Structure 1
């Protein structure tokens, strides 16, 4: 099973559209995760229409229309692994322990907000993944997103993709 993870698209404030390399990944993905801060409903409509399965949440920059359509926290069980998606997890310091305590029944937590790619594992075994942002790199050298494979209940080939500068 192929997974595509993104967050913090901030359209059309930070970019006019999603980058072509990211759009090209959509038909290859069995499940698409978006960890909030869409800003516009058109991006949600696009991902809903082009994704086989979308697991998504709203973020702190999303208005009433997106908040009405998306939860604050989303859950999915895929091939025996329990996934959660949330926008904010708080400061980097103590993140693993804080998220493990908040989400004790998860195997993988996808989050956003910081625009900083993140891939760590808490002592409890919870894997924390932040794909960064495909449209707003902020202080990062590149805009980014993640792909991963899920095989036999194991998450493999977690790959951070750097997008070309615009």
Structure 2
């Protein structure tokens, strides 16, 4: 049986937007697992994600205060259907990212990160899939706001899709 995922980061509520678009909430409620890579800003957003997600894997970001730091880790790890996931907010500059992440996360199959608001999908020389879903509220030099969906099927990550947000 396949496991559906939503990958999201940098929601920045209520600073960058008053609310998430309905299509984002629809995807979150439909997913088996939601992965959030930090920069919630508001604790109420975390509360709502927890209430509306079947399973939430999440970290804090650099814009999150102490109230979120006590509830969330800097790095989250989970095994989902045989795939080893890690989640972190920031990975540093794009240049050299693949080699740095190979060194920092050697026992990882998929690393989800955020911070830049710029979507990213590459595979490191060591075989780690690096995914940044962008931001659903702040497009920062991108044509549209985004999040990602994916499916784990037979221990493989499939159908990774960058979803534009209707705003």
TM-score range, shorter chain: over 0.9
Shift of 1:9: 0.4
Match among 20, 23, 31 for residue 22 of structure 2: 20
Alignment of 1:16-165 (within 5 A): 16-164=18-166
TM-score relative to the length of structure 1:
0.98
- How many pairs align? 165
* Alpha-carbon distance in structure 1 between the residues aligned to 2:138 and 2:16: 6
TM-score relative to the length of structure 2:
0.98
Shift of 1:136: 0.6
Structure 2 gap ranges (5+): none
Q: CA RMSD in A?
A: 0.6
3-state SS of paired residue (2:70): helix
Structure 1 gap ranges (5+): none
Shift of 1:140: 0.8
Structure 1 ranges of 4+ moved more than 3 A: none
